Amino acid sequence: MKKNIPDERTQISDLVSATVVDTFTSMFGQSVTAEALAKQMSGEPAKSVFSSVKLHRGKTHLEFCFRFDFDLLLQAAALIFSKDYLASNPVHEDLACEIANIVCSKVKAYLNDRGYDTEMGFPYIPKSDQNPLMRQKEAVHMHFYYNNEQAQQGVGVVVNFFEEGAGH
């Protein structure tokens, strides 16, 4: 039985890809596409929403960071909420946390089925100046694309994950 989470990076990446695509498609009616390598896009999203989840395992933890294009979340939310409601009630952070929760729960189940004893924390919105996305070179980076309302393709979701505390 494997006991080294970095050995599972490929499997975790595949699971994250499948779950992000499935969640957007089946739950929020949005088509997103996973890409193995980041394509050169014309520009970064004008506005992003971040969410994070930590999977704890002893003194180490596996940290997942999600960055969503605000417009993608808005398109997803429009399937559930009326335009009037969305105009006065910000729901994008709840949406970002819920998607992170679903994806990381699948990863936790995968790891625990293989003998890892991981516990999952609640999803949270990181403070922008503490966003680990910006400082982790060892992280696995995954990009997902979508078409916006103007049929222009853009980066809809970026997922990074990395293990912290190993070797301590």
Partner 1 sequence: MSAANIPELRVLVVDDNLVVRKLIEVQLVNLGFTGIEVASNSQEAQDKIAATNYDIVFLDWNMPGKSGYALMQEYREDRKYDHIAFVMVTAESQERYVREAVKAGATLYITKPISPVTFKEKVEKVVAWINTNRATKTG
Q: Cα(160)–Cα(66) distance, rounded to whole angstroms?
A: 7
Q: Please say which residue, 113 or 149, places its beta carbon nearer to partner 1.
A: 113
Site string for partner 1, 1-20 (x = CB under 8 A): ------------------x-
Residue 17 near residue 158, CB atoms below 8 Å? no
Q: Please say which residue, 90 or 165, places its beta carbon nearer to partner 1.
A: 90
Residue 49 near residue 92, CB atoms below 8 Å? yes
Residue 57 near residue 118, CB atoms below 8 Å? yes
State the minimum distance, in angstroms, from the CB of residue 22 to partner 1.
6
Among 8, 11, 34, 98, binds partner 1 (CB under 8 A): 98
Among 51, 106, 143, 155, binds partner 1 (CB under 8 A): 106
State the minimum distance, in angstroms, from the CB of residue 96 to partner 1.
9
Per CB under 8 A, 112 contacts partner 1: yes
Number of residues that bind partner 1 (CB under 8 A): 21
Residue 110 near residue 12, CB atoms below 8 Å? yes
Site for partner 1 in 27-86 (CB under 8 A): 27, 77, 80-81
- Give alpha helix (H) positions in the chain: 9-22, 70-77, 83-88, 92-113
- Rg, Å, the chain Cα set: 16
Q: How many residues does the chain have?
A: 168
Cα–Cα–Cα angle for 52, 53, 56, nearest 5°? 145
Binding site for partner 1 (CB under 8 A): 19, 22-23, 26-27, 77, 80-81, 91, 94-95, 97-98, 101-102, 105-106, 109, 112-113, 122
